[in-house]
Chain A
Amino acid sequence: MSTRPAASRVPFYRNVKTLGVLAQVIFAVVVVLAAVLIYHNVSSALNRSHVPADFSFLGVRAGIPIAETPIPYTPSDSYARAFLIGVLNTLKVALVGVVLASVLGVVVGVMRLSANWLLRQLAKLYVETIRNTPLAVQIVFWYTAILTPLPPRILSAVRWPGGVLVSNQGVALPWPYPTPAFASWLPYLIAAVVLGVAAYLLRRRQLRRADRPGNPLVPALVVALVVAVAGYLLSGTTPLPTGTTTSFRQESGIATVFVDANGDGKLDAGERKLAFTPVVAHVAKGVLTTQTQDLSESRRIDYGRFRFPPLHRGEYDRATVAFADPAKAEGLSIAFVHRPYQGIVYRDDNGNGRYGPGEELSTVGAVKRGFAAELRLTVEGFRRRLATDRDGQVRIPRFTTGAARAATSGGGANMSPAQLFAAPSQAPASSDQPTLETRFETPAPRPMIVSRPTIPISTYFGGLTLSSNYLALLLGLVIYTASFIAEIVRGGIQAVPGGQREAAKALGLSDLQTFRLVVFPQALRIILPPMISQYLNLTKNSSLAPLAAYVELFAITTIIASQTGASVPVTIMLIASYIVISLVFALILNAVNARLALVER
């Protein structure tokens, strides 16, 4: 009988440890060989094709026009900067999207548990439809089917209450900006933060000593708010630097507010432009001209319409619209859709003195057509309150003096784009074009100014513009992700044991208190981890931006790849940036999650 001393007799090819090491070595060799093969193939393919294989192309001028740039950018900037714009645009849509999707998701998730049968069913319908339809279809739906054909072109943008403008170029909102006088408010703001923090700490200690429940954040916020508001009122207005001057270019309707250091009244290189400064533009008498057009608007065609840049009540003393050439417009009349800037040219066939449907159609030929006419809007006493943009410019409609139109054929309306955007020094001193009587007041600013959007020409000026590309992507992402978040929220709330609710009831808490103080905090701990993965999904899904022609990280990279052919560097850039964004996002959110879980326990 021989006993077997265990390990010594096991041959090496049956020893689990040796086998493990061997398996790993073989696996590693296979992986490395594959990597070498790929490297060899890629490098030989690159050698043959002469496309950039390193990152040196990033310094080259990109020449890519981008509509939305959170930081200054021109097509003559480098590829690296264009890429940075892409990253920032991704963050812009992802961060806003995460917040909105959470709000919508929580609302729908709570609605799914509502006592109201109808609301419950509605929420269910929302969830089941949205999450079973591809996001790509939804984004294309919002972009091409809803936002792009938004009825009005920019000149007939819908005006919502509060001065919000809506057109197919997007939505423009009034938005606050810090003026050059912001510095006078800054000390108060710092004081508000310091006092707020102090109030928070004090109140927390007080509550702890008294061993009472309560939220120290509320008094802290009140203190901070009061100090900030009082500071704003106290800081009042601050005069602009001496030598503040405005230079106006009549051809483009753009005025620049700057500090005239050398006192020559012209904007020279190196002179400081004043961003976000209040300006009141006055034009004693100005004339705009336009022609009637037959415009296809969403699902119909509007015949014989004329549209001037919108003018609102209080912006002018007197405004009249007349035919530029009354002889040619024999028998035609003008009806206003929006007095005085938008209307229809018609012939009063039934003689009732009013416009009736069908009267805008000219009966020449078989094709439906409106009347062609040139119109002229004369505005007296035009004045508009504006705030300069980040380049220190304000923009008003391109008024001409009426005389210039009659005398020369090359008036403002007919100028080529090159002429319009020519540098100010090259603009003619208007020997053939009489200058308008204009005046630009620059009142002393308060620390902040609300810039309101206006339409001086075929783009928005002022306020904050959310382009339809951005909105389409944002809407798609928010609505899609919210349907998943709603299910997570519902699951989380349902997972809180019923006994908790009953106990809260027994303590005499109201329904709202039960939800706010007992159920929701507990549900939050269950909800948060899956919520984080939804946030990451939303961020990754923002790469569907090309479907809405929004230029973010992925879209700009595809453009860079097609322009340079640098496939390998572009691949590395894309993977690296998504991994970094995902990691940073996950780190922050997981830290929040860890903190929450700790605090609640």
Chain B
Amino acid sequence: MTSQRKPPVLRRGAMGWLRANLFSSWGNALASVVTVVALVYLAGELLLWMFSQAHWGPVWANLKLFAVYRYPSELLWRPFAASAVVLLLLGATAGAGRRSGVSIVGGVFWWFFSLAAALTLVGLAAWPVARWGWMAVALAGLMGYGAGRIRPGLGRALPWSWGASLLVVVALLNGFGADGALRSVSTKEWGGFMLTLILSIVGIAISFPLGIALALGRRSRLPVIRAVCVGFIEIVRGAPLIMWLFIASLMVPLVLDVSPSAVGPLSRAMVAVTLFSAAYMAENVRGGLQAVPKGQYEAAQALGLSGWQRTRLIVLPQALRAVIPAIVGQAIALFKDTSLVFIVGLFDFFNVGNIVANQNASLLIPGGVRLELSLFLAVVYWFFAYRMSVASQQLERQLGVGER
């Protein structure tokens, strides 16, 4: 005799999806309902607050401060020009790389381009100072992309152009001479999101070769070199960045035996950020070095390559390729960590938030505008960090496919 059974549960269509994903058991159903109610309530409260109670005035009024801090208003074209140069190169890289299938740079480029375009729109609507600047940046990006598409041969010049662009950007921002359109702007006037970006990019760029050197030193057969590298890496990683920043601000003038005013806070922060990042970079690179199969070393040796050639031509390219995702991860961490430079008295994006919170206009608002400012800061940081992490995940996937 066969016993009667219930009909099988429907697993297709919208109802089926709901049943499988939200109401598969009593406990699940309860969790779903509670979550939905809580989410709707919270979202409602948040929206209500954002559009009816929040005071966005102080954020809006200080956009320039958030972007570049006290950089002279009449010289704002220089940061814009620097951004244009970078976006131009990014566009060219994306355009030239399109045929070779490097779509990740493309994604990053279009994302930055959309940001510039969106800021142009914001400028047209309500931010007259920056209107033309953002438009120029966006156009430069488009031009670069076009050039890259039409002349893929440019691709070969790109590595050098990127190196040169670093100099151009620094030259543009810093300037020369006492007056004129290109007069020098003291680093004390630098700040805001510009400073955050400078610190992260320069930190990663300089710590990259340093980190490779440290990682190679750590794997060296020579005990003295190895010991020094291990000691440096472990001591630096054993203490937090904020402490190294503080120590740099105390010790750099002493170590160089100069008066404290001779070394500005930016240089001190740069030293700490770079050395700190180099120690972590070294550990990432070491992971890559360990992942290179031993056969590769032996094959290189059999071919008669010298030690230096072996490292440069065989081992490092494979090792670095394997750790690109980890390096992007570190770039994200560094980008977030630059918010700690408040301790040496720099006014990066985060610290400008503290200035704005203590302005008279903000203090006159009952309860202050700390909540608004925190959300604004968080959203902007999140925007960039999240985009980088998406790129890192794409990279990981792409590299993983290539490996197998």
Contacts and interface: CB of A to CB of B under 8 A. Distances in A.
B9 interface: no
Q: Is the interface of A mostly helix, strand, loop or mixed?
A: helix
Contact of A561 (B22, B32, B250): B250
B256 interface: yes
A133 B378 contact: yes
B264 interface: no
B255 A42 contact: yes
A137 B223 CA distance: 43
A340 B256 CA distance: 67
B328 to A, nearest CB: 13
Interface in B367-398: 367-368, 370-371, 373-375, 377-378, 381-382, 385-386, 389
Interface stretch (A270-278, A372-380, A540-548): A540-548
A313 interface: no
Given A144-B370, A299-B53, A575 B222 contact: no
Interface string B21-39: 1101100100110011001
Nearest to A544: B242
Nearest to A562: B250
Contacts of A136: 339-340, 342, 350
B239 interface: yes
Contact of B240 (A137, A541, A570): A541
A299 B48 CA distance: 14
Contact of B339 (A38, A134, A144): A134
A585 to B, nearest CB: 10
B254 A45 contact: yes
B368 A42 contact: no
Interface stretch (A24-32, A230-238, A458-466): A24-32
Contacts of B350: 134, 136-137, 140
Given A41-B255, A118-B22, A546 B343 contact: yes
B374 A141 contact: yes
Given A23-B222, A544-B340, A296 B374 contact: no
A287 to B, nearest CB: 33
A543 B251 contact: no
B123 interface: no
A414 B357 CA distance: 35
Nearest to B351: A136
A27 B366 contact: no
B127 interface: no
A60 B385 CA distance: 46
B285 interface: no
B5 interface: no
Contact of A571 (B251, B336, B374): B251
B243 interface: yes
Interface in B278-336: 332, 336
A298 interface: yes
Contacts of B39: 122
Contact of A145 (B223, B370, B381): B370
B345 interface: no
Contact of A570 (B242, B250, B353): B250
Q: Is the interface of B mostly helix, strand, loop or mixed?
A: helix
B361 interface: no
A24 B239 contact: no
Interface string A519-551: 000000000000000000000110110100000
Nearest to B332: A132
Nearest to A41: B257
B22 A116 contact: yes
A461 B52 CA distance: 39
Given A41-B256, A582-B238, A575 B382 contact: no
A558 B246 contact: yes
A122 B242 contact: no
A133 B381 contact: yes
Given A41-B254, A544-B242, A31 B228 contact: yes
A296 B365 CA distance: 10
Of A117, A128, A546, most buried by chain B (CB within 10 Å of CB) is A117
A44 interface: yes
A118 B36 contact: yes
B254 A575 contact: no
Contact of A133 (B36, B251, B256, B385): B385
B221 interface: yes
A300 B238 contact: no
A575 B235 contact: yes
A140 B375 CA distance: 11
B362 to A, nearest CB: 11
B228 A27 contact: yes
B224 interface: yes
B21 A20 contact: no
Nearest to A129: B382
Contacts, number: 164
Contacts of B107: none
Contacts of A38: 255
A146 to B, nearest CB: 8
Interface string A114-155: 011111001000001100111111101100111011000000
A67 interface: no
B254 A568 contact: yes
B313 to A, nearest CB: 20
B254 A133 contact: no
B225 interface: yes
A578 B222 contact: no
A88 to B, nearest CB: 18
Contacts of A568: 251, 254
Contacts of A543: 240, 242-243
B368 A133 contact: no
Contact of B243 (A46, A129, A135, A578): A578
Given A543-B240, A575-B247, A567 B254 contact: yes
A115 B367 contact: no
A115 B374 CA distance: 34
A301 interface: yes
Interface in B249-282: 250-251, 253-257
B239 to A, nearest CB: 4
B367 A574 contact: no
Contacts of B246: 554, 558, 561, 574
A26 to B, nearest CB: 10
A594 interface: no
Interface in A4-33: 20, 23-24, 27-28, 31
A579 interface: yes
A302 B62 CA distance: 30
Given A41-B255, A46-B254, A578 B224 contact: no
Interface in A261-292: none
A187 to B, nearest CB: 44
Interface string B213-231: 0000000011111001000
Nearest to A539: B240
Nearest to B29: A116
A102 to B, nearest CB: 20
B263 to A, nearest CB: 12
B382 A133 contact: yes
Contacts of A135: 336
Of A133, A146, A541, most buried by chain B (CB within 10 Å of CB) is A133
Contact of B254 (A42, A115, A140, A554): A42
A575 B247 CA distance: 9
B339 A137 contact: yes
Nearest to B342: A136
Given A118-B36, A554-B246, 5 more contacts: A24-B223, A115-B28, A116-B32, A300-B366, A568-B254
30 contacts: A23-B222, A24-B223, A24-B225, A27-B225, A31-B228, A41-B257, A46-B254, A132-B332, A132-B389, A133-B382, A134-B337, A134-B381, A137-B377, A137-B378, A140-B374, A144-B357, A144-B374, A145-B370, A145-B373, A149-B370, A296-B366, A296-B367, A298-B367, A299-B367, A301-B366, A544-B240, A544-B340, A567-B254, A574-B247, A578-B243
> Which 8 residue pairs spanning A and B have beta carbons closest together?
A117-B21, A41-B257, A578-B239, A141-B374, A132-B385, A540-B240, A134-B336, A567-B250
